[in-house]
Amino acid sequence: MASLATAEACDGNTSLLVNGELRVLQPVFKIYGQSHAFCGPVVTLKVFEDNVLVRELLETPGDGQVLVIDGGGSMRCALVGGNLGQLAQNMGWAGILVNGCIRDVDEINGCDIGVRALGSHPRKSYKRGIGERNVPVHIAGTLIRDGEWLYADSDGILISKTELLV
């Protein structure tokens, strides 16, 4: 799947930006992983300081999808670490967006996936298995729904209701 320059996508899709079919996330995420530009259909997950469901999803074939994790913006522990980054790469996920923290930054930076997170934290998360899959999540000023498309590069992150032409 080819990546798309977010600045060019914004310039070429003004009408989609105006009507809300294309949205720009607030610039609050740090860039991790080897893939600085990535895109794919979104799979949503809503958890809070608990990454059991994150692992369960990343153990399934990613098929070029992007896992969007709403961790409630918690800065008290990490939801994704090096083992999960490697798992995501091995299972074919294009990327992971975490509204929260990651850890094992050096390991994640060695993975051939794109990762965006609010920051890093050395503490691991709880293991309770509590959360919701495939639900709308509100992250960085926009509502993101399962099945929408995420486009990320060094300029920012876009969410589109449909796949954009490259």
Contact 5, 38 (CB under 8 A): no
- Measured from the Cβ of residue 76, the count of other Cβ atoms closer than 10 Å reads 13
Contact 64, 88 (CB under 8 A): no
Binding site: residue ranges? 81-84, 103-104
Task: Tell me what pLDDT residue 165 has.
Answer: 80
Task: Tell me what pLDDT residue 2 has.
Answer: 56
pLDDT at 87 over 80: yes
pLDDT at 59 over 90: yes
Task: Tell me what pLDDT residue 126 has.
Answer: 94
pTM: 0.96
- pLDDT over 90 percentage in the chain: 96
The listed CATH number (3.30.230.70, 3.40.640.10, 3.50.30.40, 2.40.128.110) that belongs to domain 6-160: 3.50.30.40
pLDDT at 55 over 90: yes
Binding site for substrate: residue ranges? 81-84, 103
Q: How many CA atoms lie within 13 A of 165 on its CB side?
A: 3
| Amino acid letter for position 104 | D
For 112-146, how does the pLDDT look when each residue is reduced to its tens digit (9 = 90+)?
999 999 999 999 999 999 999 999 999 999 999 99
Start-end of H helices in the chain: 6-12, 14-19, 52-58, 82-90, 105-109
Binding site for Mg(2+): residue ranges? 104
Contact 94, 66 (CB under 8 A): yes
Task: Tell me what pLDDT residue 4 has.
Answer: 78
**What average pLDDT score do residues 6-20 get?**
95
- Measured from the Cβ of residue 135, the count of other Cβ atoms closer than 10 Å reads 12
H or E stretch at 93: none
| Amino acid letter for position 159 | I
**What average pLDDT score do residues 89-98 get?**
98
Question: Which band of pLDDT confidence, cut at 50, 70 and 90, is reported for residue 1?
Answer: very low
Spatial separation of the C-alpha atoms in residues 115 and 96, rounded to whole Å: 5
